[in-house]
Chain A
Amino acid sequence: AQSVTQLGSHVSVSEGALVLLRCNYSSSVPPYLFWYVQYPNQGLQLLLKYTSAATLVKGINGFEAEFKKSETSFHLTKPSAHMSDAAEYFCAVSYTGRRALTFGSGTRLQVQP
């Protein structure tokens, strides 16, 4: 079955430190890949998307993600964490020919002062 794996259900970083949230997908054909963020009591907000145009994708709020086909990965990074980045982050994939998004289990990012 096609799946999305997010390593680490909780990640804690210090303010100003690098943020790295991991996402791996299972498919021999590169899917469309998305990162969403969910703040408390809010919906899912699109951070960025990969749709085969460029392997390094820049999103909102200083986040970016790199698609690596050889590693079937789409990890999310931000050079310097801000307190306002504390939220839950979801990697999502739509596989070939399908619109349904398959979500990872999410990573809760905590930013320490």
Chain B
Amino acid sequence: EPEVTQTPSHQVTQMGQEVILRCVPISNHLYFYWYRQILGQKVEFLVSFYNNEISEKSEIFDDQFSVERPDGSNFTLKIRSTKLEDSAMYFCASSLGQLNQPQHFGDGTRLSIL
């Protein structure tokens, strides 16, 4: 069964540094998403992406965040200047076009900011 893959599984970065989290969505999916889960808290929506544009974003997704689909397979989340509070598990997901289609998640990248 096709799956969403995320790399790396664990990223350790110094505060203030830029970090890029990578995802390969399921190949025939059209919508791509990033979520995060701070330790002990809920899974929170960050952003959705369709047709090379952000289609929806949350208030968490401020100017330090950006997303990109640099080629036909990868989908990336960039955090420009990391803060301690960015430490979390970041999940990528993808879905087909219809609203009622479920999102399929990757195993996540654990981001640790020192």
**Number of residue pairs across A and B with beta carbons under 8 Å?**
57
In the complex, which residue of chain A has the Cβ closest to the Cβ of B4? A43
Q: Which of B6, B42, B43, B100 contacts A32 (CB 8 A)?
A: B100
Q: Are B42 and A101 in contact (CB under 8 A)?
A: no
The reply to whether the CB of A44 lies closer than 8 angstroms to some CB of chain B is yes
The reply to whether the CB of B95 lies closer than 8 angstroms to some CB of chain A is yes
Interface residues of chain B, those whose CB is within 8 Å of chain A, are 4, 6, 31, 33, 35, 41-45, 48, 55-56, 58, 91, 93, 95, 99-100, 102-108
Add 14 more A-B contacts to A43-B91, A52-B100, A99-B95 (CB < 8 A). Answer: A32-B99, A44-B93, A45-B105, A46-B102, A98-B56, A99-B48, A99-B56, A99-B99, A99-B103, A100-B48, A103-B42, A105-B41, A106-B42, A106-B43
